[in-house]
Amino acid sequence: MVMARWLSRDRVIPLLGVVMLATIFVATRQIDWRIIHPPFLTGYCLAVLLLSMLLLSLRKQLPGMPLGLASTWLHLHVVVGVVLLPCFWLHIGRIWPNGLFEQVIAAIFYLVVLSGVVGRLMQKIIPANLTTAGGEVTRERIPREIIRLRLDVEQLLVGCTEETGKRSLAIAYEQTLAWYFRRPRFILAHIMGASTARHWFDNHVAGLIRSLDETERGYLDQICKLADGKHALDLHYALQMLLRSWLFIHAPLAFAFFVFVAWHVALVHVYVQ
Amino acid sequence: MTNSPKTPNEVSVDTANHRSRTYERPDFPYRCGRERLWSSPCGRGPNADGTCGGISECLPTRRGDRWHCSRPIWAGGPCTHGPKPDGSCYTQRPPCRPQASARIKRHRASLFAVVASVAIIAGLFATSSGILGFDRNLTIPGPLTAAHANLIDGKRCVLCHEGHERQGLTLAKALVEHQDISRQCSQCHGFDGHSSKPHNAPLTGDQTPADVSCIGCHTEHKGAIANISILPDADCHGCHEPNVRFQEFVDKGSGSHPPFSDSFGKLDISSIRFDHAKHFETHFKKPQHQEHRPKSCTTCHQRAETRGELDIPSFEEGCASCHEGKIKDQPMLLLTWPEMETMDPPGAQAIDHCRIDELFNLDDFESTSLELPGLIEAFFMDVDPDDMTDYGDAYQKLGNLLAIEGVRPLADLVQDKGGDPARLLAGLAPEIIANPACNWIANQEYEGPEPLGTSGWTAEPLGLSYHPIGHADPVLRAWLEFGGEIGSSGADELSTSALKAALFDPESGPGLCASCHQAPATGEMIWRSESQSRRHTVFDHEPHLAIEQAKGVKLCTTCHELGPTDSEEQGYENIGLQTCQQCHGQRWVGASCATCHRYHPAR
């Protein structure tokens, strides 16, 4: 039982990565060079590892297939990615190659790795921040939720106007707060963790509240509560956008890397092998 | 929605009633265009092909003869107007422009990256092939070393890479064909052996080593100043089996450097014999010779121009002062006119040729010569030198022939035994051999004029001798080589052994030369002393001597310990692994394979 608990995914997959790397490293030292030269050995290992990186993408394309948890595949993807870096250095024998073509490949590789590391860090940090912010909402759902909040606010304004016979709150909303409820705002501030949005909203409410009577203030309080939800939605929107945006760098670069690697392999076979 | 207590900022999303909301599909390729503009999305959303699916609120369904509104509950339920009589929806809207989802955008970005990569690669190769007007290969994996770069003039990659100029189908074939770069290397780089075999030499015995490639160790395109001939230990470990793997030079058990052979460090027993122990200890014991005693090894062995080697002094530099005189004083007796029991008179032609006036008395014959035949000529004449009845006729016949014809009969005998008269009898004038022969067949001693010099062929009163002109005499050398090479078998065994004994006797004739120049183990004659043959090892004496001199410790004998005299190892003990381990393998002295070994054998 203890063993089974110890052999969790978080331990087994990294252990697998370490074994993989150690095997490749030892193989380059132990292999009979008359059979295969170490650069070719590490090159083919790199190729296999690179192809295995595609498995995550493939898994995502087949959501209906019983192929295990996507998170497990992601874990494997990350570990193989970590193994790839020393394996790459082992292959080129240095950190930065000499030739222009190889330098382009290396630059793309490092960018892919860097974007992957940044993405993985964001995957670790941002969901925790979102949980702290409260609630769970998918990225696709956020626009509808914002629209729903805006309709709720507009419903309150109609009710306020009907009850008090005054349009001051509605006019003030239209001139100031409507901009805020229209769509996600202060995205950069949310990403940076600043409370600019709350200050902006509180400042406008403070300026508005002096011209309202007691009934209108009651409605304004309800709008402020809805604004709390808007703050949370904006935070979700900003962070989830960030959480996905790194893939716009990682994935295209990775596919570009595959193209360059394929050409590199072809060159090696034509010129050397 | 989580079950945790609701915080002020918590997002309020109703997920309980699926009928009150649309089904979000993250992998759906398009999103409603109205939603993109932060307006209320339509209920139906975009179509799978990216067109707007929300022009109408619903697609009415027909039950019986009536059309019914099918607007879902989450979109407000069936409308009050209901469908038009023709079955179309009553509520029509202008179409939106659906937006691609993030996944589709990512796919498009990836596709763009792939296309851009292909374009970049094509551009690089177009540039490299000069299509764009440039003449620079941008696809090479790095600059060549200066020597190779000059050789290929910057663009002739095909000198090394056969596949470089292939096109079309042949280029495709090159993908799977083996490219043998080593063959291209060996067009310029020659080796003293097979270029594609390990260490350039096919192994003997049952071993059938696979071919090795130059690029296995020497990787080009590492830069103009890269030294691609200095290789890491890993390059050696790639082939060597664990039992001969040198993980550590210092003694750490099974992974250490294997011990040196018992002969390592001993002077090569197949080289010129020189007993160092005698020359240090024995020959200079007398007080009058003490001043000539060598102070150290470097008294004789100066540093050579060749890296790491020490000069072996020439005979003139190192030996002549003591040994030159004895060489000149030890002639080789090639022919001895022997004692005869009785003799026939010389032939008429010989009498005429030799102008013999008076013949000896046959009845009262008394041999002028009291010598026994020489072993050398006995070998050539196939006679028993101890049996007068056996050699008598042969000598008389030879004597007559030599008297008439001079050198030729002797040359014929030499040639019959496989010798080269041109070398063995070089410089032998006919009269030198004919005159003593004329006298001997007349049972007289030859009394010729005094020889002009003290060296060369000399007519003796009863024979023929050769006085060496000095060290490295070509005639004696030829005789020693002949004696060393001639085989003995069957009936010839005794005479051959006798010949060898005569030639290699250190007290007479060429045997003095053999005392230094004959390898005791093989019998082979060694004429030039060379440094010990180390095909795969290299030792640079210079830094070792410099260290010892700086430290003020004993010099060469730190490694080369004098052994017993008259030993085959020429007075030296072998060098053990521990001698080198005193410094190598420690922190301050390198112990990589290439420090002492070279892959390619010395030529």
Q: Which of A100, A225, A255 sits opposite B113 (nearest CB)?
A: A255
pLDDT at B384: 86
| B371 in Cβ contact with B337 (< 8 Å) | yes
Binned at pLDDT 50, 70 and 90, residue B4 comes out as very low
Continuous segment of H or E residues that includes residue B332: strand B332-336
pLDDT at B7: 43
Binned at pLDDT 50, 70 and 90, residue B306 comes out as low
User: Residue A200 above 90 pLDDT?
Assistant: yes
pLDDT at B6: 42
Sign of CA dihedral B258, B261, B262, B267: negative
| B504 in Cβ contact with B476 (< 8 Å) | no
User: Residue B539 above 90 pLDDT?
Assistant: no
Comparing CA positions, the residue from A83, A96, A112 lying closest to residue A247 is A112
Collapsing DSSP to helix, strand or coil, A102 comes out as helix
Q: Both tokens of residue B428?
A: 């032998």
The answer, for A9 touching chain B at a CB cutoff of 8 Å, is no
* B522-550 burial code (b ≥16 CB/10 A, e <16): eeebbeebebbebbeeebebeebbeebee
Binned at pLDDT 50, 70 and 90, residue B603 comes out as low
pLDDT tens per residue, range B113-164: 999 999 988 887 777 665 555 555 667 788 888 888 887 765 577 788 877 7
Instruction: Spell out which residues of chain B touch residue A255, defining contact as CB-CB under 8 Å.
Output: 110-111, 113-114, 117
Contacting B residues, span 10-39, partner chain A, CB-CB under 8 Å: 10-13, 21-22, 24-27, 31, 35-36, 38-39
Residue B545 and residue B301: Cα distance in Å, rounded?
12
Ranking A222-236, B195-209, B210-224 by mean pLDDT, the lowest is: B195-209
Binned at pLDDT 50, 70 and 90, residue B343 comes out as confident
How far is B484 from chain A, CA to nearest CA, in Å?
43
Contact B163 A271 (CB under 8 A): yes
Contact B212 A140 (CB under 8 A): no
Interface test with A, best of B36, B99, B110 (most A CBs within 10 A): B110
Ranking B47-51, B294-298, B585-589 by mean pLDDT, the lowest is: B585-589
Mean local confidence (pLDDT), A84-94: 89
**Mean pLDDT (chain B, rounded):** 78
Contact B13 A137 (CB under 8 A): yes
Task: Return the higher-pLDDT residue of A18 and A3.
Answer: A18
Question: How would you class B568 by CB atoms within 10 Å of its CB: exposed for 0-12, middle for 13-18, buried for 19 or more?
Answer: middle
Instruction: Spell out which residues of chain B touch residue A147, defining contact as CB-CB under 8 Å.
Output: 35, 38-41
pLDDT at B488: 55
Q: Both tokens of residue A251?
A: 């994935």
Bridge partner list, B518: B525
Instruction: Spell out which residues of chain A touch residue B212, defining contact as CB-CB under 8 Å.
Output: 33-34
pLDDT at B153: 66
Mean local confidence (pLDDT), B466-479: 90
Binned at pLDDT 50, 70 and 90, residue B8 comes out as very low
Contact A98 B142 (CB under 8 A): yes
% of residues, chain A, pLDDT over 70? 93
Comparing CA positions, the residue from B519, B515, B482, B523 lying closest to residue B376 is B482
Instruction: Spell out which residues of chain A touch residue B219, defining contact as CB-CB under 8 Å.
Output: 39, 93
Ranking A180-194, B244-258, B339-353, B397-411 by mean pLDDT, the lowest is: B244-258
Neighbours of B518 (CB within 10 A): 22
How far is A92 from chain B, CA to nearest CA, in Å?
11
pLDDT tens per residue, range A184-195: 999 999 999 898
Contact A270 B239 (CB under 8 A): no
Residue type, B114: V
What pTM value is reported for the model?
A: 0.66
| B96 in Cβ contact with A234 (< 8 Å) | no
Comparing CA positions, the residue from B500, B527, B337 lying closest to residue B417 is B500
Contacting B residues, span 185-204, partner chain A, CB-CB under 8 Å: 198
User: Residue B490 above 70 pLDDT?
Assistant: no
Q: Which of B4, B10, B142 sits opposite A97 (nearest CB)?
A: B142
pLDDT at B1: 35
Going by the DSSP 8-state scheme, the letter that residue B518 receives in this structure is: B
Going by the DSSP 8-state scheme, the letter that residue A175 receives in this structure is: I
Task: Return the higher-pLDDT residue of B441 and A31.
Answer: B441
User: Residue A111 above 90 pLDDT?
Assistant: yes
Residue A269 and residue B340: Cα distance in Å, rounded?
87
Contact B12 A182 (CB under 8 A): no
The answer, for A127 touching chain B at a CB cutoff of 8 Å, is no
| B166 in Cβ contact with B157 (< 8 Å) | no
pLDDT tens per residue, range B397-412: 999 999 899 889 999 9
Residue A180 and residue A227: Cα distance in Å, rounded?
9
Contacting A residues, span 186-245, partner chain B, CB-CB under 8 Å: 225, 228-229, 231-233, 235-236, 244
